[in-house]
């Protein structure tokens, strides 16, 4: 838990440093002037979009858990969603969200094997749709971004490979029972050799039992195509809502001229790049990618304020509300 508190402090410090950067580069009065002259209706639209993003995420979780537990409530799913958002934001490569969601689900009475299956289905679906959706958008505006951001364009390819590799590994893990058990055996041998765990045999037995339940639940999911399709629709809607947030921020500064399609594709561009940024919440990399991409649309005088608003809405809100959900009983 100390590690998570450190990451939380790091996140809060980073926004403070970012505000100071804006002040020293553009001046305090300039920042206040920009914020005072925002078109509030578009800023509200951006904030509401983030809330809808969480709602869609919670509904997707409810649908996937519903495959295994028929009485799972939306309120419970929304809490687990915010907890996942919090730990995704404060851990490198967003690696902490899934384990903590698994823990939260078990605390809500969902069996570990069932919770793992639901989260795996949800994660594979999210990664697959994100990768395909982002590539479609990027190729749609390929010439534009290749001309304007040629120095960083190769990172999109790296990001795509990262997402594709994760998807392939997860599908293999979820589909091939024997291969998964062999992997567990290899892992247990490593644990025995280096003595990372005291009772390796017990851990191996527990993991194998949960894996058996996990694979059985994955078979159940295969025969629930209607619910899987519903979750896929919500995932596509969720990503569309997230992709459009920078456009609303752009409109809040009273700017016009940029096409909504180009800006949505720009957010997809950023998400592919941030996949290879190891820092918690892709701090530093996300801001840099936003600057490179959206300086093509934003005026030079408000690009920094635009980055600040974007990160407050899409990143720091996850930390604030996720932390509240984590502490609430």
Residue 8 neighbours by CB distance under 10 Å:
17
Token digits of residue 159:
């990001």
**71 pLDDT more than 60:** yes
Whether 153 shows a pLDDT value over 80: the answer reads no
Highest mean predicted confidence (pLDDT) among 156-165, 190-199, 253-262: 253-262
Give the DSSP letter of residue 280.
Answer: B
Question: Can you tell me the distance from the alpha carbon of 133 to that of 238, in angstroms, rounded to the nearest whole number?
Answer: 12
What residue ranges do the domains of the chain occupy? 2-30+39-327
Q: What is the share, in percent, of the chain residues with pLDDT greater than 70?
A: 76
**Average pLDDT, integer, range 65-85:** 91
Q: Is the model's pLDDT at 11 over the cut of 80?
A: no
Q: Produce one character per residue of 310-322: b if its CB has 16 or more CB atoms within 10 Å, e if not.
A: bbbbbbbbbbbbb
The mean per-residue pLDDT over the stretch 272-291 comes to 80
pLDDT score of 92? 80
Q: How far is CA 295 from CA 171, 189, 270, 274, 290, in A?
A: 38, 51, 13, 17, 8
Mean pLDDT within 16-26: 64
For residues 99 and 115, the answer to whether their CB atoms sit within 8 Å is: no
Spell out the alpha helix ranges (H) of 141-199. 142-148, 153-175, 177-194
Its pTM stands at 0.84
Question: pLDDT band at 160, cuts 50/70/90?
Answer: confident
Residue pair 250/129 in contact (Cβ under 8 Å)? The answer is: no
Q: Which of 325, 257, 313 is nearest to 43 (CA)?
A: 313
The residue count for the chain: 329
Is 308:18 a contact under the CB 8 Å cutoff? yes
């Amino acid at each position: 838990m100390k590690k998570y508190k450190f990451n939380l402090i790091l996140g809060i410090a980073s926004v403070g440093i970012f505000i100071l950067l804006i002040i020293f580069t553009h001046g305090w009065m300039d920042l206040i002037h920009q914020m005072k002259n925002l078109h509030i209706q578009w800023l509200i639209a951006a904030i509401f979009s983030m809330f809808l993003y969480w709602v869609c995420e919670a509904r997707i979780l409810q649908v996937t858990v519903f495959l295994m537990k028929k009485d799972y409530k939306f309120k419970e799913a929304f809490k687990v969603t915010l907890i996942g958002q919090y730990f995704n934001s404060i851990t490198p490569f967003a690696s902490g969200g899934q384990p903590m969601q698994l823990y939260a689900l078990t605390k809500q009475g969902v069996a570990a094997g069932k919770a793992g299956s639901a989260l795996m289905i949800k994660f594979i679906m999210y990664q697959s749709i994100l990768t395909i959706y982002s590539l479609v958008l990027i190729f749609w505006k390929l010439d534009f971004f290749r001309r304007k951001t040629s120095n960083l364009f190769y990172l999109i390819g790296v990001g795509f490979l990262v997402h594709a590799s994760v998807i392939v590994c997860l599908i293999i893990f979820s589909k091939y029972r024997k291969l998964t058990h062999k992997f567990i055996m290899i892992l247990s041998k490593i644990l025995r050799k280096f003595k990372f765990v005291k009772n390796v045999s017990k851990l191996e037995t527990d993991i194998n039992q949960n894996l058996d339940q996990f694979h059985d639940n994955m078979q159940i999911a295969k025969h629930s195509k209607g619910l899987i399709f519903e979750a896929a629709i919500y995932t596509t809607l969720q990503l569309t809502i997230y992709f459009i947030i920078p456009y609303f921020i752009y409109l809040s500064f009273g700017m016009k001229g940029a096409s909504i399609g180009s800006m949505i594709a720009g957010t997809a561009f950023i998400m592919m790049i941030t996949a290879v940024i190891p820092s918690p919440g892709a701090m530093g990399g996300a801001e840099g990618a936003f600057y490179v991409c959206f300086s093509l649309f934003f005026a030079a005088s408000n690009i920094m304020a635009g980055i600040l608003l974007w990160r407050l809405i899409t990143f720091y809100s996850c930390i604030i509300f996720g932390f509240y959900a984590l502490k609430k009983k």
